[in-house]
Amino acid sequence: MATEAPSLMRLDAPDTSSATILMLHGGKPSSREIVDDRSASWQRTAWMARAIAGRAHAGGADVWLLRYRQRGWNGGADRLSDTRWALAEVRAAHGDRPVILLGHSMGARVAVHVADDPSVVGVVGLAPWWSRSEPVKTLAGRSLIAAHGRRDRLTSFAQTQLFVERARSVAEHAELVDMGPRGHYMISGASAWNEVAIESSLRILTPA
């Protein structure tokens, strides 16, 4: 499927839910290609969405996956617009419920830019694409959990460390999960990535 508008894959809990995990897939620094079913970035996140949905549902959360209009960051504005549209769709369906933004790579970059949305209570970033230019003020009063492997050659473990340290000045909670000798694409050790994704999301939603 290919569209010129953002779309959502919804994995809704069969029973009553009280929160939404909104998943944001990765992409490229620059590309105007439409995101279709052949997109490896979208496919990887869709696989994870299906893998974690059962535990999310048991924890009272729906899982929604946003498909951007285009594959590239392209300066950011359009990807942020796509994500704010998805957050508005959550509100239209469920009102003011808590939302976790669960993003991989570029998706984690998008997440920290839109985390100031009033529905967002936390961000989980997997192999995030963060730099010194990313904002942390959007995380004020929210939780941040980042997970990164030390063999990632596309995004930087060190930059993630720096971002988490910066976020601690404003966030309610910020931590980094060291994924050890893992790379960027979440294929090797997929079960470990799935575990940290759902465990982190549910921990933010239901803190001890």
The residues spanned by each domain of the chain are 7-205
pTM for the model stands at 0.97
Is residue 54 over pLDDT 80? yes
Q: In angstroms, how far is the first alpha carbon of the chain from the final one? A: 41
pLDDT for res 207: 77
Q: Quickly state the pLDDT bin for 152 (edges 50, 70, 90).
A: very high
Strand partners, 176: 146
Separation between Cα atoms, residue 188 and residue 186, nearest integer Å: 6
Q: What does each C-alpha distance from 96 to 18, 93, 119 come to in angstroms? A: 10, 9, 6
22-42 pLDDT, tens digit per residue, is 999 999 999 999 999 999 999
Separation between Cα atoms, residue 102 and residue 169, nearest integer Å: 21
169-197 pLDDT, tens digit per residue, is 999 999 999 999 999 999 989 999 999 99
Which CATH architecture fits 7-205? Answer: 3-Layer(aba) Sandwich (3.40)
Is residue 83 over pLDDT 80? yes
